[in-house]
Structure 1
Amino acid sequence: MQKGYWVAHVDVKDQRIFEEYKQAAARPFARYGAKFLVRAGQYDLREGELHPRTVVIEFPTFADALACYDDPEHQAAKAIRDPIAEGDLVIVEGHSV
């Protein structure tokens, strides 16, 4: 089975509330084996447009990545984040080498 990834580009408008989202999302992330590969940090945009915060999360399988997003506990955490963040999120299947 291929790994699954969340790739997000986000603009956070209230860091205090975003911290609440991160705490609320921690349990579903742990439940589905999420591993943060990129979480903000320095970047150098070379093409296109981008929200300033990039996050890449690896999951054991593509199915786990989908299930984590749809999990009711994650959806409740997402409701905390939605009013204070704008961005894009894609869930993609990894490539086997």
Structure 2
Amino acid sequence: MITAAQLRAARALLRIDQRELAQRCSLSLPTIQRMEASEGVIRGNVDSLVKLVEALSVAGIELIAEGAVSSAGGRGVRLKSPPPSADDKP
């Protein structure tokens, strides 16, 4: 599960806009916009959610679930490694 707040935070950590995220996970821009505008846990097509979470994981984002070990004890995101710089793009 991923919340809208986690999605916005993950995108901010990666320094990408909604359009870039949509391209990375092969979803439409309106789908990403709807996901980010939702309240709480994002609901939607399972295939779309899997694509989203996989794209974030590939980009280096670790989603922290409710109750998982973290300093604050709440939901969040954690950057597994620094995002690639613009110079690293092919």
TM-score, structure 1 length as denominator? 0.33
Q: Which has the larger radius of gyration?
A: 1
The structure carrying a bigger helix percent of its residues is: 2
Q: TM-score, normalised by structure 2?
A: 0.34
Q: Which is richer in strand?
A: 1
